[in-house]
């Protein structure tokens, strides 16, 4: 594959549309039985973790890759965490896991699957409420892992009940960790340690260089072990990087809350709480309004740090103890950069991205790199800029979710909320237009700010346990099918490459994806879920330039327009899922076509024709079967 302008081309010069799935949600946790990653014991013995078996055991790889290929998902975002590579300690790589990865990637290539590898993280690590970094990244700073929840420095699903009277973990609460001390501090040090904590050093190096060097070296080592695997098409740099405290104008204020509901900490609240000061913080309701309640954090007045260590921001002069009380000395500590206001993406994220790319390119000059911006929902959620002088073979891999459906676990096709404008959107046509507009903004940013590089929607998806899990009881996934169809309509209208979140091989209705009570896997209990919403026709390779894609899953009618290139002899290839397109499939086209039903492909031959072509394919209205219980 190669990139020309904003198109990804194959060896025949055909325009590709890359479509697949994230593989998978379970890879955020070490390998274990379903649900194990939700229990407190999963946070014990971090050096002994093993990710061999993620995303699935080796003896299951063929069947899973065959299923994905049959679904038209031939381009996958393969989830690998830093912890999976280097959990035992700095520079100690898990060679058994790397050998396992190599084995399944060889199987992927045999089954016609390509991947790009995603160095995944969410709110830094499993010990800070998410996944990603090894525990030792915090331990070397003197952080006591046992005190993260105790001090309110992190909110974990595994230990929430221990500190909240056995109460269940609040719905989609994990993103609030971006505003808590541990994750915010680690991101600030990782990206901006040399600027904002210049005297904080580990093994003689500034903490920023120490962390980044280990991160990049781990994935460079991974590439050395895997570089001859033909399935690898590219690498992500980091999933949903975050600025931490960088860019805050006033540490005493909550400027960038990731969650509208629950306790809302300012950076100063988070900092003093971690150092052993009880702190009462306001609680907000689901629409983001302050309630009359406060939540007391760190009621036992414990310090997060082991003896001999202290808060790095105290060392940096951000605050001090005065007469037994914490005093904020520099509320604007994280705003200046080289005499001006800091820009996280340009001043911190982009230099790191360049370092990562240059190091990885040593292994393969032709690999693609997938660049991401801030997490969806962050008030500063922007993509990086990219110029013609920046490294080539870059792809804007932005993320998008229907926020109302994701955070409330409800979906109505005629209703959603625009969070940026706090505006209700009513009517199915308006909701569909809004979804399409959201994705169009990502494409527009790429065109105007990133030198028109290609775009891939790296994450989008739907909670299958929505609407109080009713579908688990009655087996009716029609509402899920409609939601996913609307999301994919927006993808098609924008002619986007895409990888849906996600495929978790060991998902069950009881345990979901096994991480923070999320349940977005399109595969569960050995079966596909709501396949009529995501198993749909699309042009895999076009002998020309795509113009429009339309699929009506209720009527079973697919229409595709493109500008045919008379110089390309290879056919246009359209994926036609067999569940929809059987022997009675009707094809209307001015060009020569060949339906290969067993292969689930429609081949369209230009035969020297150049100009606009349109293909209409009518299926037999036998959609993928709905899951039954």
Which of these, 12, 121, 115, lies nearest to 367 by C-alpha position? Answer: 115
- The residue with greater pLDDT, 40 or 290, is 40
Do 38 and 506 touch, CB atoms closer than 8 A? no
pLDDT at 377 over 70: no
User: What CATH number does the domain containing 155 carry?
Assistant: 3.20.20.80
Give the Cα separation of 510 and 518 in Å (integer).
11
Instruction: Say which range, 11-25, 263-277, 408-422, has the weakest mean pLDDT.
Output: 408-422
* Edge-to-edge strand list for the sheet holding 290-297: 262-263, 279-284, 290-297
User: Which residue range(s) make up the domain with 317?
Assistant: 266-333
Residues 523 and 392 in one domain: yes
pLDDT at 282 over 60: yes
Per-residue pLDDT tens for 100-131? 999 999 999 999 999 999 999 999 999 999 99
Q: Which tokens belong to 558?
A: 């697919």
> Do the domain assignments include residue 466?
yes
pLDDT at 380 over 80: no
pLDDT at 402 over 60: yes
Residues 505 and 578 in one domain: no
pLDDT at 363 over 90: no
Residues 219 and 362 in one domain: yes
> Do the domain assignments include residue 626?
no
Give the Cα separation of 46 and 522 in Å (integer).
30
Kindly report each contact of residues 96-100 with a partner whose C-beta sits within 8 Å and lies 24 or more positions away, as own/partner: 96/50, 96/52, 97/50, 97/51, 97/52, 98/221, 98/222, 98/225, 98/226, 99/225, 100/52, 100/53, 100/58
Average pLDDT over residues 153-180: 94
> Do the domain assignments include residue 87?
yes
Which of 467, 502, 534 delimits the end of a domain? 534
Residues 275 and 364 in one domain: no
| Burial of residue 465, with CB atoms counted within 10 A of its CB: 0-12 exposed, 13-18 middle, 19 or more buried | middle
> Do the domain assignments include residue 627?
no
Q: Which tokens belong to 411?
A: 């979906």
The C-alpha torsion from 444 through 460 and 428 to 467, rounded to 10°, is: -160
Q: Which tokens belong to 318?
A: 């951000």
Residues 472 and 362 in one domain: yes
What is the pLDDT, as a whole number, of residue 622? 62
Q: Which tokens belong to 105?
A: 């990637």
> Do the domain assignments include residue 6?
no
Do 582 and 533 touch, CB atoms closer than 8 A? no
Do 386 and 371 touch, CB atoms closer than 8 A? yes
Q: Which tokens belong to 561?
A: 């327009």
pLDDT at 243 over 90: yes
Q: Read off the pTM.
A: 0.95
Residues 573 and 529 in one domain: no
**b/e sequence 215-250, b meaning 16+ C-beta within 10 Å:** bbbbbebbbebbeebebbbbbbbbbbbbbbbbbbee
Instruction: State the chain's mean pLDDT as an integer.
Output: 94
Residue 472, CA distances (Å) to 50, 170, 469, 507, 515 in order: 31, 21, 6, 13, 19
Q: Categorize the per-residue pLDDT at 255 as very low, low, confident or very high, splitting at 50, 70 and 90.
A: confident
Q: Categorize the per-residue pLDDT at 627 as very low, low, confident or very high, splitting at 50, 70 and 90.
A: very low
pLDDT at 624 over 70: no
Residues 448 and 515 in one domain: yes
Per-residue pLDDT tens for 169-189? 998 899 999 999 999 999 999
Whether cis (ω within 30° of 0) applies to the bond prior to 55 is yes
User: What CATH number does the domain containing 550 carry?
Assistant: 2.60.40.1180
Residues 567 and 595 in one domain: yes
Which of 486, 515, 534 delimits the end of a domain? 534
Token look-up 């309004």 returns 289
Per-residue pLDDT tens for 446-496? 999 999 999 999 999 999 999 999 999 999 999 999 999 999 999 999 999
pLDDT at 316 over 80: yes
Do 285 and 261 touch, CB atoms closer than 8 A? yes
Give the Cα separation of 377 and 360 in Å (integer).
30
Token look-up 């709501």 returns 530
Give the Cα separation of 475 and 481 in Å (integer).
12
Per-residue pLDDT tens for 125-145? 999 999 999 999 999 999 999
> Do the domain assignments include residue 4?
no
Residues 78 and 165 in one domain: yes
* Beta strands at 497-503 and 523-524: parallel, antiparallel or unpaired: unpaired
Strand partners, 573: 541, 603
Do 206 and 198 touch, CB atoms closer than 8 A? yes
- How many helical (H) and strand (E) elements, i.e. helices and strands, does the chain have? 15, 32
Q: How many residues does the chain have?
A: 629
Residues 448 and 564 in one domain: no
Residues 518 and 580 in one domain: no
> Do the domain assignments include residue 477?
yes
Residues 134 and 95 in one domain: yes
Q: Categorize the per-residue pLDDT at 628 as very low, low, confident or very high, splitting at 50, 70 and 90.
A: very low
What is the pLDDT, as a whole number, of residue 629? 40
What is the pLDDT, as a whole number, of residue 621? 66
Give the Cα separation of 155 and 150 in Å (integer).
9
Tell me how many domains the chain contains: 3
Provide the phi-psi class of 608: left if phi over 0, else alpha when psi is between -120 and 50, else beta. Answer: left
What percentage of the chain reaches a pLDDT higher than 70?
97
> Do the domain assignments include residue 547?
yes
Q: What is the DSSP string of 5-58?
A: TTEEE-TTSPEE--EEEEE-GGGGS-S-STTGGGSGGGGS-GGG---TTSSS-G
Which of 534, 555, 579 delimits the end of a domain? 534
């Amino acid at each position: 594959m190669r990139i020309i302008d904003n198109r990804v081309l194959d060896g025949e010069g055909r325009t590709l549309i890359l479509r697949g799935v994230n593989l998978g949600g379970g890879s955020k946790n070490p390998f274990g039985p379903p649900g194990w990653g939700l229990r407190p014991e999963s946070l014990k013995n971090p050096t002994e973790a093993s990710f061999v078996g993620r995303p699935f055991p080796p003896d299951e790889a063929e069947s899973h890759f065959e299923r994905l290929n049959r679904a038209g998902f031939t381009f996958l975002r393969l989830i690998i965490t830093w912890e999976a590579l280097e959990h035992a300690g700095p520079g100690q790589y898990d060679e058994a896991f790397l050998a396992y990865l190599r084995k399944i990637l060889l199987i992927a290539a045999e089954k016609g699957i390509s991947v790009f590898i995603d160095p995944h993280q969410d709110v830094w690590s499993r010990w800070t409420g998410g996944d990603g970094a090894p525990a030792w990244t915090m331990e070397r700073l003197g952080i006591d892992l046992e005190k993260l929840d105790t001090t309110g420095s992190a909110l974990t699903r595994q230990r929430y009940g221990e500190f909240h009277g056995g109460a269940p973990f609040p719905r989609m609460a994990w993103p609030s960790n971006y505003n808590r001390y541990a994750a915010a501090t680690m991101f600030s040090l990782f990206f901006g340690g040399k600027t904002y904590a210049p005297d904080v050093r580990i093994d003689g190096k500034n903490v920023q260089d120490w962390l980044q060097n280990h991160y990049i070296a781990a994935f460079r080592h991974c590439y050395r072990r895997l570089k001859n695997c033909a399935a690898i098409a590219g690498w992500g740099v980091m999933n949903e990087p975050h600025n931490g405290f960088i860019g805050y104008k006033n540490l005493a204020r909550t400027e960038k809350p990731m969650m509208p509901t629950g306790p809302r900490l300012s950076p100063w609240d988070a900092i003093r709480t971690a150092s052993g000061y009880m702190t009462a913080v306001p609680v907000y309701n689901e629409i983001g309004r302050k309630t009359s309640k406060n939540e007391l954090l760190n009621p036992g007045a414990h310090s997060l740090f082991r003896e001999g260590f202290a808060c790095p921001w105290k060392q940096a002069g951000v605050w001090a103890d005065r007469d037994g009380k914490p005093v904020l000395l520099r509320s604007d500590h994280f705003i200046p950069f080289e005499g001006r206001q800091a820009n996280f993406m340009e001043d911190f994220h982009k230099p790191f991205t360049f370092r990562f790319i240059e190091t990885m390119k040593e292994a393969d000059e032709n690999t693609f790199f997938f660049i991401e911006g801030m997490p969806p929902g962050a008030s500063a959620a922007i993509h990086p800029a990219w110029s013609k002088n920046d490294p080539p073979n870059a792809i804007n891999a932005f993320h998008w979710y229907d926020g109302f459906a994701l955070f409330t676990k409800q979906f109505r096709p005629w209703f959603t909320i625009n969070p940026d404008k706090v505006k209700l959107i009513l009517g199915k046509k308006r909701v569909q237009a809004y979804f399409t507009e959201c994705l169009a903004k990502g494409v527009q940013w790429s065109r105007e700010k990133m030198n028109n590089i290609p775009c891939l929607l790296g994450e989008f998806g739907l909670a299958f346990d929505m609407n109080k899990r009713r579908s688990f009881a009655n087996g009716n996934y029609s509402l899920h099918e409609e939601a996913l169809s609307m999301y994919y309509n927006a993808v098609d209208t924008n002619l986007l490459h895409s990888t849906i979140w996600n495929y978790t091989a060991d998902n069950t209705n009881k345990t979901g994806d096994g991480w923070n009570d999320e349940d977005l896997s399109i595969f569960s209990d050995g079966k596909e879920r709501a396949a009529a919403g995501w198993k749909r026709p699309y042009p895999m390779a076009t002998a020309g330039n795509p113009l429009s894609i339309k699929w009506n899953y209720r009527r079973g009618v697919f229409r595709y327009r493109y500008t045919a290139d008379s110089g390309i002899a290879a056919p246009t290839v359209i994926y036609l899922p067999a569940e929809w397109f059987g022997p009675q499939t009707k094809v209307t086209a001015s060009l020569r076509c060949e339906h290969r039903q067993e292969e689930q492909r429609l081949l369209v031959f230009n035969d020297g024709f150049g100009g606009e072509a349109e293909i209409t394919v009518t299926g037999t209205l036998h959609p993928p079967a709905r899951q039954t219980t």
